[in-house]
Chain A
Amino acid sequence: MSFIDDMKIGKKLIGGFLIMVIILVAVAAVGYINMGVLDAGDTALYEDRTVPIGQLGNVDADFQHIRAEAYRYIYVPASRETIKGTTLPELRANIRKNMDAYHATDLTTAEEKVLADFDMNYAAFSTQYDALIAAADKNDMKSVDAALSADSPLITARTATVKALDDMITINIDEAKKIADANTALYNSSSMMMIIATIVGVIIAIALALYLSRSITRPLDQAVKNLQEMGNGHLGNRLKLNRKDEIGEMAATMDQFSEDLQVQVVGTMKKIAAGDLTANVKAKDSQDEITPALIQMTDAINRLVADAGVLSKAAVEGKLDTRADASKHQGDYRKVVEGVNAMLDAVIGPLNVAAEYVDRISKGDIPAKITDQYHGDFNEIKNNLNNCIDNLNALVADAGVLSNAAVEGKLDTRADASKHQGDYRKVVEGVNDTLDAVIGPVNETMKICNKYAAGDFTARWPSGLTTPGDFQKLKEALDNIGIQVSKALIAINQQVTDLAAGAEEANASVEEVSAGAGQVAKNSSEVSVNAEKSMTGIEQVQKAMEDLSRTIQEVATRADGTAKLVQDTTVYSREGMDRAKKTEIGMQGITRSSNDVNQIILEIKGQMDRISEIVNLITDLANQTNLLALNAAIEAARAGDAGRGFAVVATEVKSLAVESRASADKISEMINSLQNQTNNAVDAVTAANTGVKEGSAALDETLASFNKIVSAIDQISNNVSEVAAASEEQAASVEEVTASISEVNGLMQNTVKEATDAAAASEESSAAIDQISKVIGNVNTIVDKVTKEVSQFRC
C-alpha cells in the first residue's frame, strides 16, 4: 500500500470520501430499485386483482338483487311496473358493465373458462327469468311454482351462475395471494441485499477511515518523538520514512537537519574544544547563520591566542612595555586583553620608579621623596624608598656637620646619635667615639707640639696620661716621627683592607639585588601563565554561550515549521468534515423520499380500513336480514296456511342474507390479506429507513474520526510547546558561564598574590641597598680618618 503513503494528504482524504460516497450511492440505489419493484407488485395486485374482486362483488350483489326482485315481482303486483320498467334493466346493465370491465383486465386461462361458464349460465338464467316474469304476468302460479321448485332450469342456471361468480372471486383471491407471496419473497430478498450492501459498505468505510488516519498519525508521532529527542540534544536518531507525501518530505528534511547538526556543527565544535582551530566549514548560503557563527568564533579565538602568545613571550624576555592591540578584539575578549595590558601597566610603573631611585642612590645622588600615589604593595615600596632617602639625608647631614667641625678644629662637636637608627646610629656613635678618643691625645700632642714649637723636643708624653691604641703610636710617632709615619702608613693600609672587605660586601649585596630582580621576572612569567589559563576559561564561556543561542534558535525555527504543517493538516480535516456533512444532507434526502413512500402506503392502509368498515356494515346488515328472515319464518309457520307463501320469501331472504354475509366475509378476508401485504410494505420501507440511518451512523463515525485527527493535531501542538519548554533548559548553560567567570576571578586573585611576591622581592632588594649604603658610610669614615691622620702629620 506504499502508493497511498506516496499520495498527498489532501488527495488521500478526498479519495477516501469519494469511495464512501460511492458506497452510500450504491446502498441507496439498491434500496431504490427494490422499492420500485415492490411498488410494481403492489400496483399489479391492486389493478389486476383488488379492482376485479370489487367488480365481481358488485355483480354478485346485483345478481342477488335481481333474484330477490323476482319474488317481489311475483308476490307484490303493485311493484311490477317499477321492477320491470326500471330496476331490472338497471341491474342488468350494471352487471353487464362490471363484467365488461372484468373482461378488460388481464385474465388467466382458468378465469376465461369460468367467465365463459358465467356468460352461458347468466344468459340461460336471464331467459328463464324473463319466462318466469311472463308467467307471473299471466298469473300462471303453477308455472311460477314449477320455475321456483328445486332443480328447475331457473334454479339450476342461477346456482351455476353463482358458482361461476364464486369461482371467479376464488381465482382472483388465489391470484392475489400468489402476487402477495411473490411480493413478500421479493421483499425478503431485497431486504437481505440491502442489509448485506449496508454491512459491506460500513465495513469498507470503517477500514478505509482507520487506514487513512493511521497513515497520517503514525509518521507524525514518529516525527514528534524525533523532535523531542532533538530537543534533548540526541541527534543520532533518523526517521528514514520511505514515503513521498508531506510527512515524508518533513521527515527527510528533519533527517538532513539532524545530519548537518551532528556532523558539521557539533563535530566542528568538538574540534574547537579539543584545541583544533583549523576547522574548515563553509556557509551553505547567504542566510545560513550556524556556519558563519562557527567561523567567527574560531577567528576570535585565534586572534586572542595570537595576542596572548605575543604578550607572554615579551614578558618572558623582560620587555614589559610590550602591549596587545585591544581594539582588534570584541566583547569579553577585549576585556581579557585590556585586563592583561592594565596588569602590565600596573606592574611596570612602580618597578621603573624603584629601579631609577635605587640607581640614583647607588650613584650617591640622593633624590627627592617620591610623591606619586601608588596602591597596595607598590605603596609600601614607595614608603620604604622614602624612608631610605630620609635616613641617608640625616646621616649625610650629621656627617657633614661633624666633618665641618673637625675641619674647623672644633673637635668638641658631636652628632646626636639618638636621631639615627640601626647601623646609621653605630656610624654616628663611631664618629663621636673617634672624636672622643682623638681629642685628648690631640690636646696633649698640641701641648707637646707647642713644646716642640717652643723647641722643646724633649717633651714627652706624661707617664700618667694613658695613651691607648693609636695614640700610643702617636706618642711614639711624636717620639719618633719616622716610625710614627711608617706606623701611620700601616694604619692606612689597614683601612684600605677594611675598604676592600666593604667593597666585597657591597658586591654581595648587588648580587642579591640581581637575584631579587630574577624572582620578579619569574613571578611575572607565572602571572602570564595564569593569564593564559584565564583566557582558556573565557574561551569555554564563549563556546557555551554560542551553543546556547544557536540551539534555541534552531528549536524555534523547527517549531515554526511544525506549526505550519499542523495548520495545513487542520485545513484538510475541515474540508473532509464539510464533505461528510454534504453526504449527510444527501442521506437526509433519501430518508425524506422513503418517508413519502411510507406516507402513501399509510394512505392505502387507511383506505383499506374504510373498506373494512363498509364490509363490517354489510355483515351487520346481513345479520339483521338473517334475524328478520328467521322471525318472518316463525311468523309464517305460526300463520299456518296463510303464511305459506310468506315462508318461501322468508327462506329466500334468509339464504340471501347468508350468502351476502359469506361474500362480505370473503371480502373481509381479502382485505385482511391486503392489509398484511401493506404492513409488509411498511416494514420494507422501515427497513430501508434503518439502512439509511445506519449509513448516517457510518457518516457520524467518519466525522468522529476527523475529530480524532483534529485532537491528534492538538497533541502535536502541545508537543511543540514542550519543545519550547525544553529550550528553557538551555538556560542552564548560562550557569556554566557564571562558573567559568568565577574561575577567572580565582585566577585573577592568583595574579594579585604573585604581585605580592614581587613586592617582597623588592623589599629584599631595598635591604640590600641599605647595606650598600652602610658600606659606603664605612668607606667614607675610613677615608675621613685617613684624611685626618694625614692632616695631623702635616701639623
Chain B
Amino acid sequence: MGKSVRPAREEEVSSPPGTTPEGEISPGRIDRSSGGDKNSGKELLQVVEFLLGRERYAVDLFDVKEVVEYTTITKLPNTASYMRGIIDLRGEITTIIDLKERLRIPTGPDIDEENCRIIVLDEKITKAKTGIMVDDVLSVSTFDRNDIDSTSAADVDDDSAILGIIKKKVKEKEKEQEKNELIIWIDVKHLLRDMDIGEGMTAA
C-alpha cells in the first residue's frame, strides 16, 4: 500500500497542471511552437519536468529520448560517487548517473529507489548510452521564454549548470487563484561535459 501512497500525493499536486495544459497542448499550439522555434519572436520551450527531492527540475525535451522505470542497477568499481552503475536497456548497456548525488541534493529517508524513474538521454549529446536517475517524471510541458528568468541563474556558480528558473502558473483547486510554481531548468549537456561521457561527446 505504502508504495502507491507517496506517488499519489505528488501526482495530486501535479494533476491540476496536468489538466490545465491539456487545453494548452492543443494541436494548434504545438503547431506554433515547432514552427516558431526558429522563426517566431515569441519563443516556446518544451521541457520534461521531473522531481529531485522536493524541488521541480526541467531539462530540454530534445535532450531526452525516453523515460523508463527503475530496474536493478549493476554497480561499477572505482567510479565517481554519482555514477550509479549500468543497466541493460533492451540489449544496450546504459550508464546511469544519480543526478541528486551529482547536484548534491540531500536524499530524504523515505525515498524508495524502486519508485525512481530513469530519463534516457538523447544519443546525440552523449558518447555512450546514458540515463539520469530522478525521483519522478511529472510531465512534458511547453513554456513561453518570457516565463523564464535567466538573470537570477547567472549569479549561481557555473558548476550547477542552471540555465534559468521557469515560473509555471498553477491554478489552485480550492482558492481558485493563480500562483507561480518555480521550476529549475538545468543544462544536461553542461553537466555531462564535466564527466567523461560529455567530454567524449564534445571531442567527437
Contacts and interface: CB of A to CB of B under 8 A. Distances in A.
Contacts of B88: none
A710 interface: no
Contact of B26 (A624, A648, A650, A665): A648
Interface stretch (B2-10, B152-160, B164-172): B2-10
A634 B64 contact: yes
Interface in A619-672: 619, 623-624, 627, 630-631, 633-638, 640-641, 644-645, 647-648, 650-652, 654-655, 658, 661-662, 664-665, 668, 672
Contacts of B31: 641, 644
A630 B139 contact: yes
A634 B66 contact: yes
B18 A616 contact: no
Contacts of A647: 25, 27, 30
A651 B18 CA distance: 8
Interface residues of B, number: 37
A739 B12 CA distance: 118
A145 interface: yes
Contacts of A636: 30
B61 A637 contact: yes
B192 interface: no
Contacts, number: 92
B1 interface: yes
Which of B21, B22, B61, B140 has most A Cβ within 10 Å?
B140
B137 interface: yes
Contact of A634 (B3, B18, B26, B67): B67
B22 A145 contact: no
A641 B34 CA distance: 7
B41 interface: no
B1 A672 contact: yes
A612 interface: yes
Contacts of B140: 630, 633-634, 637, 650
Contacts of A616: 1, 3-4
A613 to B, nearest CB: 10
Nearest to B28: A145
A658 B48 contact: no
Given A150-B22, A627-B67, A637-B61, A145 B27 contact: yes
Contacts of A640: 34
B19 interface: yes
A139 interface: no
A503 B63 CA distance: 192
A652 B30 contact: no
Contacts of B61: 634, 637-638
Contact of B11 (A631, A641, A658): A658
Contacts of B12: 662
Contact of B18 (A645, A658, A665, A668): A658
B46 interface: yes
B84 interface: no
Given A149-B23, A648-B25, A651-B25, A661 B67 contact: no
B88 to A, nearest CB: 18
Contacts of B34: 640-641, 644
A647 B30 CA distance: 9
Contact of B8 (A151, A641, A661): A661
B69 interface: yes
B25 A627 contact: no
Interface in B129-153: 137, 139-140
B115 to A, nearest CB: 9
Nearest to B34: A640
B106 to A, nearest CB: 26
Interface in A301-341: none
Contact of B7 (A149, A623, A644, A645): A623
A635 B64 CA distance: 9
B15 A662 contact: yes
Contacts of B15: 658, 662
Given A634-B48, A655-B22, A619 B66 contact: no
Contact of A630 (B21, B27, B28, B137): B137
Interface in B29-87: 30-31, 34-35, 46, 48, 61-62, 64-69
Interface in A69-94: none
Given A630-B139, A630-B140, A661 B18 contact: no
Interface string A602-621: 00000000001000100100
A651 B22 contact: yes
A640 B61 CA distance: 12
A146 to B, nearest CB: 11
Which of B3, B4, B62, B67 has most A Cβ within 10 Å?
B4
B39 to A, nearest CB: 13
A623 B138 CA distance: 11
Nearest to A635: B66
Interface of A: 145, 149-151, 612, 616, 619, 623-624, 627, 630-631, 633-638, 640-641, 644-645, 647-648, 650-652, 654-655, 658, 661-662, 664-665, 668, 672
25 contacts: A145-B26, A149-B26, A151-B23, A616-B3, A627-B69, A630-B137, A630-B140, A633-B140, A634-B48, A634-B66, A634-B67, A634-B140, A637-B62, A641-B30, A644-B27, A651-B21, A651-B25, A654-B18, A655-B19, A658-B14, A658-B15, A658-B18, A664-B4, A665-B8, A672-B1
Interface of B: 1, 3-5, 7-8, 11-12, 14-15, 18-19, 21-23, 25-28, 30-31, 34-35, 46, 48, 61-62, 64-69, 117, 137, 139-140
* CB-CB nearest 8 A-B residue pairs: A150-B23, A633-B140, A665-B8, A619-B4, A640-B34, A644-B27, A644-B30, A631-B66
Given A634-B64, A655-B19, A658-B18, 10 more contacts: A145-B26, A150-B23, A627-B68, A627-B137, A637-B61, A637-B140, A641-B31, A648-B27, A654-B18, A661-B8
